[in-house]
Amino acid sequence: MRTLVQIVIALFVTFSYLYAESTVKLNLLPVPKQIELEEGAFRLNEDFTMAVRGSENQRLYRAATRTLRRLSNRTGLFFSQDFITPQSEKTGDFIIQVNRTGQIKLHEDESYTLDINNEQISLSAETDIGAMRGLETVLQLMQADAEGYYFPSVHIEDAPRFPWRGLLIDVARHWMPVEVIKRNLDGIAAAKMNVLHWHLTEDQGFRVECKTFPKLHELGSDGFYYTQAQIKEIIDYAADRGIRVMPEFDIPGHSTSWFVGYPEYASQPGPYTVERKWGIMDPAFNPARAETYEFFDAFFKEMSDLFPDDYIHIGGDENNGIHWDANEEIQQFKRDNNIKDNHELQSYFNKRLLNILQKYDKKMVGWDEILQPDSPKDIVIQSWRGKESLIHAAKNGYQVLLSNGYYIDLIQPTDYHYLNDPLTEDMDLTPEQAQFILGGEATMWAEFVTPEIIDSRIWPRTAAIAERLWSPGDVRDVENMYDRLETFSFRLEELALQHEKNYLMMLRRLTNNRPTEPLQTLVDVVEPLKIYRRGQAREFTQHSPYTRVMDAARADQKVAREFRALMEQFLADGAHNPEMAEKIRQHFYLWAKNHSQLVDIIEVSPILREIESLSEDLQKISLIGLELMDALTAGEKIAPDRGEDISTVLKAAKKQRGQVELQVVEPIEKLLAYVSK
């Protein structure tokens, strides 16, 4: 018997409450397009076997085997089946049926249908890529009860809303070894994303072995670059998971590292050294010289062979034109060619590059700066400076990706990214124009991340972006998302992602192996400075330490977020719910007594001194919180002059220390306002 009628979210919004409930239980992320929960369950035991049908390609067999291992590792069940290969049995408890091998290309079919009942699991898909998306759903569906592990009976029909769902990883500002990329590719696959946008070159590093121009990687990378064998290994690893790898070579600006070996293509004579600082730099390729284009022709010929994806990203962002303006040859070139400004000059440069890329059968992608009135229509625009460029591009017939609002390096909360939709009614696009919006990408810029902390900046927030790009547009319940995200996040650890375990490791290092609990109590309620304030608070370089409290602290700290929600609810309900009041008090007790414990640790761990006053402020505001709760209970008002003193303390507590900020001051301000009125 079916307990829930078929729910097509897009059509039956009134069912969304029911839907949300079942999804919490099911913990699916991203939410499938269509799901029908049925009575019954498939029980997992050690006789469990899987079979693949219809695929000649090894890829799906490997994916099935990985699924089997993940199930085994989670459950501790000793399955008898070892590897699933084309020679394996074509029948089993779990049948995966596909029609053809998918291509690792934009617009490939990623849909799948999943049926689970008491006897069988069956997953069918047009392509093996769709089947792999379905395997992630199966892994998410597994539940446990007193009888053991099981999959609830369901019927799911699923397909992505947008065809391009990517994560940019900047490996240039900070070097990221192969294993960092691989484990994040596993995360990308778990979130049903399908593009790794590999930001390979920057002022601070050139990260690809280049055989035609070897001084690029030899002199531009400090020895930290991927060999071509490693590049192929990563592309294969991604393809095995149905993920495209699009390389970015950011030009004409953001290019200092190229000129260390080849200053002759720059707009100023040099010499150049690898940049160590962050920011917008002046060096840029010389667009006025024929040799520059000969260089790029040979360069992109080699890179087009190395990277099989149809698309190559040429960057194009933040070229400030300073070195162009200072070069007389370039100025003369502009006059001779009737080029009125640097925008037009960059547009000229882009057109020359487009010809080169097209010669090697590649399509061009660039940041929104490359969109000029006369830009050719077959380029893809990546919108980062504002949504206007996305709408403008789509209205003018350019394919476009959204990254504005998906800058996960800026430490903004998950719900901010989650609710940022690439395609909304108010954009006022025709159905034809809407088709130009291909999807979006989260961007992991690497100024402030190292291999140790990058996972904590990417995950789990990127999964919320993945849902925005995969699930129907009206799946927007923030609380429900946070619930599911927690499960998603912890399961990422089975893929060796380090966002959770490195938190505790870093706290251990910070406390010099003293007990970490008092530090965690503090760090759980602080976050790094957001947006661009961090880089403004002090100078950081490539070789700065990224091991401080700022680096251990994460975006969207759960304890702080839940405390804010608790206070919000408590006050909205009239501030008399005793259970909520008790919960709030428990937070204040914990924070108030924490400081004296942390001080003992700071004593022997000088790296923590920068947050000592922050810890003291947490104590102060918690004592204030208790005072306000007492006043509330006693039905007393806070006297105006006491209220002013409290305001001053609360305001001071908001100040950043060591580039982190307390995230629980605002609810106490709200409590004060409530008690004062």
At 353, is the secondary structure helix, strand, or coil?
helix
CA geometry: angle 72, 73, 74, nearest 5 deg: 90
Q: How far is the CB of 259 from ligand ACM (least distance, A)?
A: 19
Catalytic residue among 318, 494, 616, 627: 318
Of 17 and 532, which has the nearer Cβ to ligand ACM?
Answer: 532
**Residue number, 113 or 342, with CB nearest to ligand ACM:** 342
- Site size for ligand ACM (CB under 6 A): 4
To the nearest whole angstrom, how small is the minimum distance from the Cβ of residue 172 to ligand ACM?
Answer: 12
Check binding of 384 to ligand ACM (CB under 6 A).
Answer: yes
CB of 318 to ligand ACM, least distance (A): 5
CB 383, min distance to ligand ACM, A? 10
* Nearest to ligand ACM of 112, 398 (CB atom): 398
Q: Which of 218, 233, 317, 669 binds ligand ACM (CB under 6 A)?
A: 317
What values do phi and psi take at 55, rounded to 5?
-115, 130
Report H helices in 191-327.
215-220, 228-239, 256-261, 290-306, 322-325
* Residue 318 annotated in active site: yes
Contacts of 380 (CB under 8 A, 6+ apart): 311, 363, 364, 365, 366, 398, 399, 400, 401, 438
d(CA 399, CA 419): 22
We find the least distance from the C-beta atom of residue 317 to ligand ACM, in angstroms, to be 4
- Give the x/- contact pattern for ligand ACM in 274-313, rule: CB under 6 A: ----------------------------------------
By the rule CB under 6 A, 218 interacts with ligand ACM: no
Q: Which is nearer to ligand ACM, 454 or 485 (CB)?
A: 454
Quick check: 535 binds ligand ACM (CB under 6 A)?
no
Task: Answer whether 178's CB lies under 8 Å from 58's CB.
Answer: no
Query: Crossing angle for the helix pair 558-572 and 578-603, nearest 10 degrees?
Result: 150
Shortest Cβ 11–ligand ACM spacing (Å): 38
The torsion angle over the Cα atoms of residues 638, 640, 641 and 642, rounded to 10 degrees, is: 20
320 near ligand ACM (CB under 6 A): no
Nearer to ligand ACM (CB atom), residue 83 or residue 532: 532
The residue whose Cβ lies closest to ligand ACM is 317
**Cβ closest to ligand ACM, residue 70 vs residue 197:** 197
Within 8 A by CB and 6+ apart from 51, the residues are 84, 88, 89, 90, 91, 92, 94, 95, 96
Considering only residues 213, 237, 295, 367, which one is a binding residue for ligand ACM as defined by CB under 6 A? Answer: 367
Q: Residues 604-643: x/- map of binding to ligand ACM (CB under 6 A)?
A: ----------------------------------------
Q: Calculate the alpha carbon distances from 225 to 73, 177, 213, 222, 575 in Å.
A: 34, 9, 14, 8, 58
Q: Which of 222, 282, 294 is nearest to 256 (CA)?
A: 282
Looking at the Cβ atoms of 283 and 667, the one nearer to ligand ACM is 283
- Beta strands, E only, 398-466: 399-402, 437-444
- Judged by beta carbon, residue 447 or residue 467, the one nearer ligand ACM is 447
Q: Is 604 helix (H, G, I), strand (E, B) or coil?
A: coil
Indicate whether 318 belongs to the interface with ligand ACM (CB under 6 A). yes
Tally Cβ neighbours within 10 Å of residue 39: 12
Minimum distance of ligand ACM from residue 384's CB (angstroms): 4
> Which has the closest alpha carbon to 519: 450, 611, 449, 453?
611
CA 525 to chain centre: 22
Catalytic residues: 318
Can you give the binding site for ligand ACM, defined by CB under 6 A? Answer: 317-318, 367, 384
